[in-house]
Amino acid sequence: MTTATTSPPFDLAAYKPLDNATLAARIQAVRDQLGTRLLLLGHHYQQDEVIALCDLRGDSYQLSRMAADSGDCRAIFFCGVHFMAETADILANRPEKLASRGGERVEVYLPDMKAGCSMADMALIEQVENCWEELGEVVDTHDITPVTYVNSAASLKAFCGRHGGIVCTSSNARAVLDWAFAKTKRVLFFPDQHLGRNTAKAMGIPLDEMPVWDPYEELGGNSEEALRASRVILWKGHCSVHQMFRVEHVAQFRTKYPGIKILVHPECTMEVVDAADISGSTGRIIREVQEAPAGTQWGIGTELHLVNRLQQEHPEQEIHFLSPVVCMCATMYRIDLAHLCWSLENYAAGTPVNRIDVDPDTAHWALVALERMLTVSAGKAGG
Ligand code: SF4
């Protein structure tokens, strides 16, 4: 195998000038060398050159489940963002899996450590802990279930595990909220206010019972009365990609293409979800397109790379991207062939870089919250 520098660890700078064909060939060489011990996972929002080299494609939770179920694999390269790699590390190394491998861990790598998620970064564990403490001065926290969207740091999932809470995905959020309300009066939902609001609204919870918690304000910017009257306390976080879709875009597409079906992700604002025909997880969006009669016109409000791929893979459908501006996940886009090749060749040379290794206590409690979700939803995925 040709490498970028003469001896490991190899320097990323040497990979950046290489063209995609060279990088793809070298990535393939590592795949051939390591065989089934290596698993490359690609999120649906990932760029096409990367997806072409991945073993599996899916949403964040599907990918982690696939990784956890893969028998021979000993190294996962997650072409997604940081929280996804953390979830893969937790699920692939849960106690029964570790025992079945005689204690051998599956190592998880993120080709670029700067591939984070702006939504996940809007809820820091210190802020959530402060929120919980402040809420405890106004209402009984034993009567609150913390719910975190799977798009969050492992520390937040662990917080939910420790406090009787749970993880949700965009496809099982409703079932998770039903579970939470069967045991407590209130829910603290983070980090995505839109998924929380859209889900709770569809369950008939009035908007005035859903205050927004701003972590930079005292009591989250709320009165004690508002918090006492609350059912769902929504964290002030959002996806910068999905929040860019607007109701004006929906109206423009309906005018231009009468009969068009508007299909959006529930991370979009309530106004956009209300104006759409269908709102659903990444998996549901793909299914709706796959199962529609040929010639259906679609206006799709989700990440650009996924919509472009749906256009390529479904030429029998008329698919439009539901925005005049580019809405792409810039952090996911950081994982390019240069980073993937650099991290793979270092791994193959015995000088691994960018390992994601969740500490045991965080992994334990995050798994508690993830397993509660599995019990509730019987493994429905999304995200
Ligand atoms: S699309 Fe939004 S929620 Fe998903 S990884 Fe990117 S910033 Fe995060």
Asked whether residue 145 falls in the same domain as residue 193, the answer is yes
Same-domain status, 173 and 252 = no
- Is residue 227 within 8 Å of residue 135, measured between CB atoms? yes
Cα 293 from Cα 301, distance rounded (Å):
20
Domain tally, the chain = 3
pLDDT of residue 1: 47
Cα(241) to ligand 1 centroid in Å equals: 7
Q: Report the nearest atom of ligand 1 relative to the CA of 45.
A: 1
CA atoms within 13 A on the CB side of 324: 8
Provide DSSP, 187-239.
EEEES-HHHHHHHHHHTT--GGG--EE-TTSGGGG--HHHHHT-SEEEES---
Do 229 and 151 share a structural domain? yes
Q: What is the mean pLDDT of the chain?
A: 95
For residue 379, pLDDT beyond 50 = no
Residue type at position 173: A
Beta-carbon count within 10 A of 350 CB: 8
Domain containing residue 52 = 12-116+332-352
Tell whether 134 and 216 lie within a shared domain. yes
Cα 314 to averaged position of ligand 1 atoms, centre (Å): 24
Give the model confidence (pLDDT) of 265-296 as tens digits. 999 999 999 999 999 999 999 999 999 999 99
* Minimal-distance CA residue to ligand 1 atom 8: 117
Tens-place pLDDT, residues 291-320: 999 999 999 999 999 999 999 999 999 999
Same domain flag for 224 and 371: yes
Kind of pairing, strands 232-235 and 261-264?
unpaired
Q: Could you identify the atom of ligand 1 that is nearest to the CA of residue 83?
A: 5
Pocket residue to mutate for ligand 1, from 82, 83, 119, most atoms within 8 A of Cβ: 119
Classify residue 295 by burial, with Cβ atoms within 10 Å: 0-12, 13-18, 19+.
Answer: exposed
What's the pTM?
0.95
Residue 77: give its domain's CATH number.
3.40.50.10800
7 domain-assigned: no
Q: Are residues 186 and 223 in the same domain?
A: yes
Question: Does residue 380 register a pLDDT over 70?
Answer: no
Cα-to-centroid distance, 78 and ligand 1 (Å): 15
Ligand 1 mean position, distance from CA 165 (Å): 23
Identify which of 64, 114, 331 to mutate to test ligand 1's pocket (most ligand atoms within 8 A of the CB): 331
**pLDDT > 70? residue 323:** yes
Residue 4, pLDDT above cutoff 50: no
360 in a structural domain: no
31 and 91 assigned to the same domain = yes
Alpha-carbon dihedral sign for residues 9, 10, 13, 16: negative
Are residue 275 and residue 371 in the same domain, yes or no? Answer: no
Chain center to CA of 313: 23
In a domain? residue 314: yes
Q: What residues line ligand 1, using a CB cutoff of 6 Å?
A: 45, 81, 117-119, 151, 239-241, 303, 329, 331-332
Based on the fold, state whether residues 68 and 96 are members of the same structural domain: yes
The strands making up 212-213's β-sheet, listed across from edge to edge, are 166-168, 144-149, 186-190, 232-235, 212-213
383 within some domain: no
Residue 192 and residue 294 in one domain = no
